[in-house]
């Protein structure tokens, strides 16, 4: 479970970084003054390299989250110490 948790943190940092590196749709000055309208998938109709990286990281994030949930459900909770075991 420790490896999955470390992987989760790394994926989160990479996902945040790649999302912040993306250029927004309204980033160009032409868009502010009534420039062309982009389609839903962008001007070329396909995702950019960063878009593809974000999709891959998101899928890995979701799969890893499910694996973390499943592995945490299989580990029994720790037993609290009893009065007899502390003697």
CA distance 46 to 44: 6
51 assigned to some structural domain: yes
Which range marks the domain in which residue 47 is found?
2-21+42-74
The tally of domains found in the chain comes to: 1
Note the pLDDT tens digit of each residue in 7-60. Answer: 999 999 999 999 998 876 555 544 455 555 555 555 555 678 888 999 999 999
Note the pLDDT tens digit of each residue in 47-64. Answer: 788 889 999 999 999 999
| DSSP H or E stretch at residue 17 | helix 2-21
13 assigned to some structural domain: yes
User: Over the Cα atoms of the chain, what is R_g?
Assistant: 22
Model-level pTM? 0.62
The candidate with the shortest Cα–Cα distance to 4, out of 78, 77, 66, 53, is 66
């Amino acid at each position: 479970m420790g490896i999955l948790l470390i992987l989760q943190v790394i994926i989160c940092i990479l996902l945040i970084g790649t999302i912040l590196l993306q250029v927004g749709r309204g980033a160009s000055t032409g868009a502010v003054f009534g420039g062309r309208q982009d389609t839903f998938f962008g001007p070329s109709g396909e995702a950019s390299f960063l878009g593809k990286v974000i999709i891959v990281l998101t899928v890995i994030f979701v799969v890893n989250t499910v694996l973390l949930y499943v592995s945490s459900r299989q580990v029994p909770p720790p037993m609290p110490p009893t009065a007899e075991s502390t003697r």
